[in-house]
Chains A and B, each alone.
Chain A
Amino acid sequence: MSLRHLTFAAACLAALTAPAFAETNVTVLHVSENATQKALWDKIAADYNAQHPGVKVQFKYLENEAFKAKLPTMLQSNDRPELFYSWAGGVMQAQNKAGFLKDITADVAAVESTMSPTAVDAFKVNGKVVGVPFEVGEVAFYYNKKLFEKAGVKAEDIKTWDDFLAAVKKLKAAGIVPIVVGAGEKWPMHFYYSYLVMRIGGEHALADAKAGKEGGFKNATFVEAGKRLRELGALEPFQPGYLTTKHAESSGMFGDGKAAMDLMGQWLLGMQAPNSASGKGLPEEDIGILSFPIVAGGKGKATDTLGGINGWLVSKSAPPEAVDFLKFFSEAKYAKEAAAAGAYIPVVKGANAVITDPLFKRLADDLAATTYHQNYFDQDLGPAVGRVINDVSVAVAAGEMTPEAAAAAIQDAAEQQ
Chain B
Amino acid sequence: MSAIETTYVEPSRRMSVNGWAIVVIFLPPALLLFTVFVALPIAEAAWYGFYNWDGYGRPEKFIGLKNYGYLVGNATFTRSLINDGLVIAASLLIQLPFALGVALMVAGRITGAVWFRMIFFVPYVLADVAAGLIWHFMFDGGYGLPSLVTGALGLAPYYLLADKDWAFSAVLIVILWKYFGFYTMLYVAGLQGIDKSLLEAAEMDGASAFQRFRHITLPLLGPMIRLSIFFSVVGSLQLFDIIVPLTGGGPFETTNTMVSYLYYFGITRMRFGFSSAVGVVLFIICVTFAFGYRRLVMRDD
Chain B, residue nearest A91 (CB): B270
Chain B nearest CB, measured from A66 CB (Å): 12
Determine if B56 and A97 form an interchain contact, defined as CB atoms under 8 angstroms apart. Answer: yes
How long is the Cα–Cα vector from A248 to B267 in the complex, in angstroms? 23
User: A98's contact among B56, B136, B161, by CB below 8 Å, is which?
Assistant: B56
Q: Tell me the bound Cα distance from A244 to B136 in angstroms.
A: 9
The residues of A that contact B167 with a CB separation of less than 8 Å are 244
Q: Tell me the A42-100 residues at the B interface (CB within 8 Å).
A: 65, 68-69, 72-73, 75, 91, 94-95, 97-100
A-chain residues with CB within 8 Å of residue B251 when the two chains form the complex: 243-244, 398
Question: Does chain A have a CB within 8 A of B227?
Answer: no
Cβ of A30 within 8 Å of any chain B Cβ, yes or no, is no
Please determine whether A100 and B250 come into contact, CB atoms closer than 8 angstroms: no
Known: A69-B267, A184-B248, A241-B157. A417 touches B52 (CB 8 A): yes
Which residues of chain B are within 8 angstroms of A94 by Cβ–Cβ distance?
A: 54-56, 270
Q: Is the CB of A241 within 8 A of B161?
A: yes
Tell me the count of chain B residues lying within 8 A, CB to CB, of chain A: 29
For A387, the chain B residues whose CB sits under 8 A away are: 264, 268-269
A363, B42: Cα distance in complex, Å: 50
The residue on A at minimum CB distance from B56 is A98
Query: Does A129 touch B at the CB level, under 8 Å?
Result: no
**Do A241 and B140 touch (CB < 8 A)?**
yes
B255 to chain A, nearest CB (A): 10
Distance in angstroms between the alpha carbons of A186 and B269 in the assembled complex: 14
* B57 CB within 8 Å of chain A: yes
Q: Which of B57, B269, B271 contacts A97 (CB 8 A)?
A: B57
B139-159 interface with A by 8 A CB criterion: 140-142, 156-157, 159
* Contact indicator B253/A391 (Cβ below 8 Å): yes
Q: Are B252 and A395 in contact (CB under 8 A)?
A: yes
Residues in B with CB closer than 8 Å to A103 are none
A131 contacts B by Cβ under 8 Å: no
Interface residues of A in 95-113 (CB under 8 A from B): 95, 97-100
Chain B contact residues: helix, strand, loop or mixed:
loop
Interface of chain A: mostly helix, strand, loop or mixed: helix
Q: Is the CB of B269 within 8 A of A416?
A: no
Nearest CB of B to A180, in Å: 12
Residues of A within 8 A of B56 (CB): 72, 75, 94-95, 97-98, 100
Identify the closest chain A residue to B61 (Cβ). A417
Hey, which chain A residues are within 8 Å of B250, CB to CB? Answer: 184, 186, 243-244, 394
Query: Do residues A240 and B269 form an inter-chain contact, with CB atoms below 8 A?
Result: no
State which size class the interface on A falls in: 20 to 34
Chain A residue numbers with a CB within 8 Å of B253 are 391
Residues of chain A within 8 A of B264, CB atoms compared: 387
From known contacts A72-B55, A384-B271, infer whether A240 and B142 are also in contact, taking CB-CB under 8 Å.
yes
Given contacts A94-B270, A241-B140, A395-B252, contact A384 B54 (CB under 8 A): yes
A240-B157, A241-B161 are known contacts. Are A382 and B252 too (CB-CB below 8 A)?
no
Residues in B146-198 with C-beta less than 8 Å from chain A: 156-157, 159, 161-162, 164, 167
Check if B141 sits within 8 Å of A241, measured CB to CB.
Answer: yes
A366 within 8 A of B: no
Contact A241 B52 (CB under 8 A): no
| Chain B residues positioned under 8 Å from A357 (CB to CB) | none
Q: Which of A69, A244, A382, A395 contacts B162 (CB 8 A)?
A: A244
Q: A241-B157, A241-B159 are in contact. Are A400 and B252 (CB under 8 A)?
A: yes
Residues of B within 8 A of A141 (CB): none
What is the 8 Å Cβ interface bit string for chain B, positions 244-281, against chain A (1 contact, 0 not)?
00011011110000000000100111110000000000
Give A contacts to B, CB under 8 Å: 65, 68-69, 72-73, 75, 91, 94-95, 97-100, 184-186, 240-244, 382-384, 387, 391, 394-395, 398, 400, 416-417
A-B contacts, 27 listed (Cβ < 8 Å) = A68-B270, A69-B267, A75-B56, A94-B54, A94-B56, A94-B270, A98-B57, A99-B57, A100-B57, A185-B248, A186-B250, A240-B142, A240-B156, A240-B159, A241-B142, A241-B162, A243-B251, A243-B252, A244-B162, A244-B167, A244-B251, A383-B270, A384-B54, A387-B268, A387-B269, A400-B164, A417-B52
9 nearest A-B residue pairs (beta carbon)? A241-B159, A98-B57, A98-B56, A72-B55, A243-B162, A244-B161, A243-B251, A244-B162, A384-B269
